[in-house]
Structure formats: structure tokens, C-alpha cells
Amino acid sequence: KHPEATLLVTGGAGFIGSNFILYMLKKYPNYKIINLDALTYAGNLNNLEDATNEGNYIFVHGDICDRSLVNKLFDEHKPNYVLNFAAESHVDRSIINPRIFLKTNIEGTQVLLDACKLHWGDSESNVLPLKYVQVSTDEVYGSLGPDGFFTEETPLAPNSPYSASKASADMFVRAYYETYGLNVNITRCSNNYGPYQFPEKLIPLIISNALKGHDLPVYGDGLNVRDWLYVEDHCRAIDLVLHGGNSGEVYNVGGHNERTNIDIVKIILDELEKPYSLIKYVEDRLGHDRRYAIDASKIKKELGWEPTVMFEEGIRKTIQWYLEKSEWLEAIKTGSYMNLR
């Protein structure tokens, strides 16, 4: 049913990338997947334990900014699709040290785009034409007031060094489409949650601290609003964009599931039967965006995508996963997951 294809996935040892690889290997058993990942603190090969036995999955330890390595991989594997998940992804870290965000998120994207441009013709000998998909974020649109939604037409107005770097990368993707006619798509998704998320991010942080009875830090008044989507729904959206997205188009992806941070924390505490007294309000994040909310009607209309996992179900599944995979969290806590590189 599905033609053979070769995918170059970058950042596939991170949270969303690893979920995506596992999803694709299961759905398209005849696809070949090359995972290029630098294994920063956020890269965890434990996430891909279930992928290593597949004959069509190859892991390459390397940096997307390494031009010669990237070109070598293109020469060797002649990918039909390039999916760029690799990024520095944590806003708090970008506030402390913006430099690495420029390097990986902007320069790395440009290296991948150049490789696509250079190897454009190669794909003619393959079954499918080369396509580049940039996995971006709703944070490039900035912050919303109490009303309204981000559409694909909303002007970019990034507020954090992280979102500024992601917005810049999106602009390069756009420019390579406009200037060189590269076959590209950009997806802009809201906050993801689910298995394999590094415990510096809100949901796994709250789950792991609550399990240990530690304080649960909540920024400011806790009323910042995010639109949460179960990671598998995001993976399915990327799959649809990959195969059916019109070239040059941006697709917003979101769950229509707006929650304040404090609500998220209370839902997790209720689920774990832990006391609200663990909640500790801390000084607000600098430049903290108040509200994000996605209008995902374009991807619904053009590609038939809709979220399928309701939040109550998704959060229960996620908590259950972290309870069952306590050794996954433990390996991060002790740092032993870093020994896999």
C-alpha cells in the first residue's frame, strides 16, 4: 500500500522525534529511517529501545550543523523526506544561554536546507521527490490575550530566545521555498505531552516531583495558558503533512485543549492522590508568554487531521507510563542514560 521511502529524521532521540520514529516504524514497516542526533542532554537512546531491532532503522550520532556529515548522509542514503526535529527546545535554557539556540536551531536548519538543495536532483532516481519538513512551534506567534487563536496568517512575533530562533529557522525554510523552489512544509504545533518527555518540561516535571513528594514549582500566578496535545496526535499530523502537505505551506497543529498551568498541576496531583500543599509558586519566567491557542482548521480541512486523544485520557495514559517506566526517569536522575552515547 505504501511505497518504499527513506526518511532522514534529525533529533530523533528527543521527546517528539523518538515518538515519531516509533510511530512511523510501526505504521510503515518498509520505510527506512536514518536518525541523526547529537545526543545533547535531551537526547536519550533509551527512548528508542524498541526501534533498535528493526533492520530498517539506523542511528547516526552527529550534529546537524556538521555540513560534511549531513552531505555524506544524503549521498549515502538519498532520503526522500527530511524531517527536522533537532533543536534546543527548552525556553528556560534559552533565557540563560541563547547562543546554542542560534547555532542548532538556525544554523543547523540552514545546513539541512542546503543539503536538500544540493541533493535535489538525486531524488529523481528515487520513487518519491525530496521533501523537507520543519517541525516548528506555535511559540513563533508570540502571546495571545484572553481571546483569539493563532492561524497560519498570524504575524510572527517571538518573545523568547527559543521562539526567536525557531521563527528565524522558519523564515529560512520559507526563503528556500521562495528562492530555490525547495519542496517544504512547516508545522507549528502547540505544547506536546506524553511518553519520553524530558523531566524539565512541565508535565513530566510535575509527575516526577509529585511522586517523590518534592515541591512543585509553578511560575507567577500559574494562570498562563497552553494548548496541550498528546504527542501521538502530533506524530500523525506530521505523517499527514509529510505525505499530503502542499509545498510551501505552513500547518498549525493544536488540540483545542487550553489549560492554565495550575490546572495541569492540580489534575496531576488529583490523579496521583497527592496534596496541593506541594505546589510552590516561584518568580515568573522572564518574558513569559501569557496564552497560546491554535486554530487548526487548515490541517483539518486540507488533510483531515483532528486530535483523537482527549486530555483526560492522554494525561492518565502519560501518568501511567511514567509510573510503569520508573527506571526511565531514574536513568535521567542518575545521569546513567548519558552512558549510552
Binding site for ligand NAD (CB under 6 A): 10-11, 13-17, 36-40, 42-43, 63-65, 85-89, 104, 108, 135, 137, 166, 189, 191-192, 198
Catalytic residue (one of 37, 63, 88, 138): 138
Contacts of 118 (CB under 8 A, 6+ apart): 71, 74
Supply the DSSP symbol for 304.
-
Give least dist CB 108 to ligand NAD, A: 5
Cα gap 138→152, rounded to integer Å: 10
Residue with Cβ nearer ligand NAD (85 or 322): 85
Cα gap 236→333, rounded to integer Å: 30
Give the residue nearest to ligand NAD (CB): 14
Residue with Cβ nearer ligand NAD (63 or 233): 63
Neighbours of 191 (CB within 10 A): 22
Give least dist CB 36 to ligand NAD, A: 6
Q: Catalytic residue at 28?
A: no
Residue with Cβ nearer ligand NAD (137 or 160): 137
Q: In angstroms, what CA-CA distances link 257 with 98, 263, 315, 325?
A: 30, 12, 12, 26
Catalytic residue (one of 37, 63, 88, 139): 139
Q: Catalytic residue at 312?
A: no
Beta bridge partners of 97: none
Cα gap 290→261, rounded to integer Å: 11
The β-bridge relationship of strands 184-189 and 250-253 is parallel
Q: Is 8 helix (H, G, I), strand (E, B) or coil?
A: strand
Contacts of 235 (CB under 8 A, 6+ apart): 16, 19, 20, 23, 24
Residue with Cβ nearer ligand NAD (102 or 128): 102
Residue with Cβ nearer ligand NAD (131 or 201): 201
Give least dist CB 222 to ligand NAD, A: 19
Neighbours of 163 (CB within 10 A): 26
Backbone angles phi, psi at 7, to 5 degrees: -110, 130
Catalytic residue (one of 31, 81, 132, 162): 162
Give least dist CB 17 to ligand NAD, A: 5
For 54-122, what is the HEC assignment? Answer: CCCEEEEECCCCCHHHHHHHHHHHCCCEEEECCCCCCHHHHHHCCHHHHHHHHHHHHHHHHHHHHCHHH
Give least dist CB 277 to ligand NAD, A: 28
Give least dist CB 4 to ligand NAD, A: 25
Residue with Cβ nearer ligand NAD (5 or 14): 14
Q: Catalytic residue at 138?
A: yes
Catalytic residues: 138-139, 162
